[in-house]
Amino acid sequence: MTAMDWTPLPKGSFTGIDWSADGASTGHDPYLIWAETDQFAGYGLKRRPDWMPLLIELTPGTTVQQLVSASSKDWLCVPGVYTSGVAPRGFRYCTARVRPRFFKAIQAGGRLHALVGRVELGLPAGQHADGPTGVVKFAPPGDGALLRGKVLGLIDGGLAFAHANFRSGLRTRIKHFWRQDRKGFGPEPAGFGYGHELIAAGIDEVMRRNVFGGLVDETRVYQVLHAGRELDKRLNHGTHVLDVACGPRTVAASIANLPPSFDAPPSWAPAGDDASRCDIVAVQLDWATVLDTSGGSMNVHIMDGLMYILSRCARSARVTVNLSWGTLAGPHDGSSVLEAAMDELIDLEQGRLGIVLPASNSYQARTHSNTTLGKGRQAEFQWQCKPDDNTQNFLELWLPRGARGVSVQLTPPGHAPLPPLEWGESGSWNDAQGSPRCAVIYPRSVAIGANGTCALIAVAPTFAFDPLRATAPSGSWRVRLANSARNRVTLDAYIERDDQVIGVRTGARQSNFEDRWYDTSGNPGSFVDHAENRTLIRRSGSFNSIATGTRTLSVGGTRVSGPQWALYSPQNPDPVPKRRRRPGVVMVPGLDAPSDENGVLLGVNAAGTRSAGVVRMVGTSDSAPQITRTIFNAL
């Protein structure tokens, strides 16, 4: 094998930061550094974007208005909702579209350096977020149009807004609907500058014009409102979840305490609860966000979605938001920018807002490893990247504070090892044309978590239709960690989510860890998580990375009959609570609800994309809305 070496990281084409300089990466988002390293190829761009969407955390005591006043509209655009009365006093988070001048302003000596604490990249796959249109001033609906009482909010993908389960006769219960991508029908919602908004009166009018034989022609409604293509499927995630949360029938009443029966599966029970009659504000995520299951732009669009829901409600309204979405990598201690923002928003709203999230379906996906290294000790992860994967793969190594003695060495499949990289060092491994096949980005601290640091390993797709696009070898990537520090270091390795959404083929293939000691039988009673087990792969600790905050509610999946926990769900209590872990890491869901009927009949039934259609979906995405419904009814 020929000798291998790293190539220094380039100067960013957008930020202008020389990422190879000592300390340049400190405190930044490593995904931003990787995006500039591969020239935004992972986002489907042929050149750098004109504007870059970010989620921003301000320093304590700083207001969004101060940020805006200290900036120029030529290079920073904050949606007007964040400087309006919708944002509670003292809220230190906002989204923004920025141009390169912003990154000069946040450097030491810049006019924003003392104001901006952290920034996270928010680019989606396929296209960059719409640039600001200039229509960013916020004008709330008239006072009479603001929703009062109890309101249910939904942030998801694929919402069939003309479905009979979300109507009362020919009047929709979805009072405000924001589709966040370029497609769709309706004006941009004031104060956000992108996407399309529909209000109830407009939806009702189109439905009334398309009634035949006493029934709404839903397909025609979606065609008229430019929503047909993504809703021409039997199952859509957002429709299914919203039906569980507030449809005219309840899951729990139909399946609780009933024995399994294949001849006559239990039918849902009619509901007369508040949720079945409530007003709804729904946000359909940018379709590029939905397709990019790694969460490339999720933070920006979810934050804007939460502010949109609040902006359509009176201050007296009580709002419960279901967010059946998430990723797998991240700090898992509530310190990501989005999690910190949601926690602060809930706190400042003083009981007015609740946010419910699923705990994830990755418990047996082999996407989490954990180990503790004493001085002079080593550990090696075997990371299996699949062939024919048309998307990038990411592995995050999370280390606590004081772990500067840990080095990272990467060996690509079929190649000699690359040199070890120490704390604060980074590099890319390039092909003959100079395009990166992979990179290790190991900053001394990162923007995507507040405790310790993260070494990001980014790997190019293993397959590409474009012959000019860099590809990486498939197979087992060996990641060797060595600790030269005096103290023991406990670290976690998380593989980012990289699967396909329902009904869409993106070419994504989920990578995973492998080793000879892991029990692949799926036996829930195995000793995978015991400290004495030689495998580094751990089921415990596999968790939704945006559901570990202190104020949001996480929900795991259980079975109606048989062993309690669904095999794909995190469990409570943790199977091995004595295993070493990083401080603050969340391992267990706070609540649970059925996501399987039994060990054979997985999932629960709920609405298909068209009225009267019923489909089965599996996962904690269906557990979360049951808790959302319970909380909503109890308000």
Confidence of residue 260 (pLDDT cuts 50, 70, 90): very low
| Alpha-carbon distances of 127 from 53, 414, 474, 617, rounded to whole Å | 12, 33, 26, 29
Residue 132: pLDDT over 90 = no
Q: How far is CA 582 from the centre of its chain?
A: 22
Across the range 510-535, mean pLDDT stands at 82
Position 3 confidence tier, pLDDT thresholds 50, 70, 90: low
Residue of higher predicted confidence among 192 and 59: 59
For residue 233, pLDDT over 70 is answered with yes
Q: What is the pLDDT of residues 415-434, one digit of tens each?
A: 999 999 999 999 999 999 99
How far is residue 160's CA from residue 59's CA, in Å, rounded to a whole number? 40
Contacts of 109 (CB under 8 A, 6+ apart): none
If pLDDT is split at 50, 70 and 90, which confidence band does 190 have?
A: confident
CA–CA distance from 537 to each of 67, 379, 566, 578 (Å)? 44, 12, 19, 16
**0.85 cut: is pTM over it?**
yes
Instruction: Determine the pLDDT at residue 140.
Output: 66
Q: Using 50, 70 and 90 to split pLDDT, how confident is the model at 256? A: very low
Is the model more confident about 328 or about 574?
A: 328
Q: What mean pLDDT, rounded, does the chain reach?
A: 90
**Strands in 386-537 per DSSP E:** 393-399, 406-411, 426-430, 436-441, 453-459, 475-483, 489-495, 512-513
> Average pLDDT for residues 306-323, to the nearest whole number?
97
How far, in whole angstroms, is CA 264 from its chain's centroid?
37
pLDDT at 230: 82
pLDDT at 532: 76
pLDDT digits (tens, 9 = 90+) for 83-113: 999 999 999 999 999 999 999 999 999 999 9
Per-residue pLDDT, 402: 82
The whole-number average pLDDT for the span 272-294 is: 90
Mean pLDDT computed over 357-367: 96
Helices (H), 433-551: none
The pLDDT tens digits for 8-47 are 999 999 999 999 999 999 999 999 999 999 999 888 777 8
Confidence of residue 530 (pLDDT cuts 50, 70, 90): confident
pLDDT band for 315, please (50, 70, 90 cuts). very high
Phi-psi region of 345 (alpha: psi -120 to 50; beta: other; left: phi over 0): alpha
Listed residue (216, 189, 192) closest to 204, CA to CA = 216
Whether residue 337 is predicted with pLDDT greater than 60 in this model: the reply is yes
Amino acid at 286: D
213 Cβ partners below 8 Å, 6+ apart?
A: none
- The pLDDT assigned to 37 comes to 97
C-alpha–C-alpha distance, residues 152 and 188, integer Å: 22
Q: Considering only CA atoms, give the Rg of the chain.
A: 24
Query: What number of other Cβ atoms are within 10 A of residue 541's Cβ?
Result: 24
pLDDT digits (tens, 9 = 90+) for 566-616: 999 999 998 776 778 899 999 999 999 999 988 899 999 999 999 989 999
Quick: pLDDT tens for 373-418.
999 999 999 999 999 999 999 999 999 988 899 999 999 999 999 9
pLDDT of residue 528: 80
Q: Based on the number of CB atoms within 10 Å of its own CB, is 273 exposed (0-12), middle (13-18) or buried (19 or more)?
A: middle
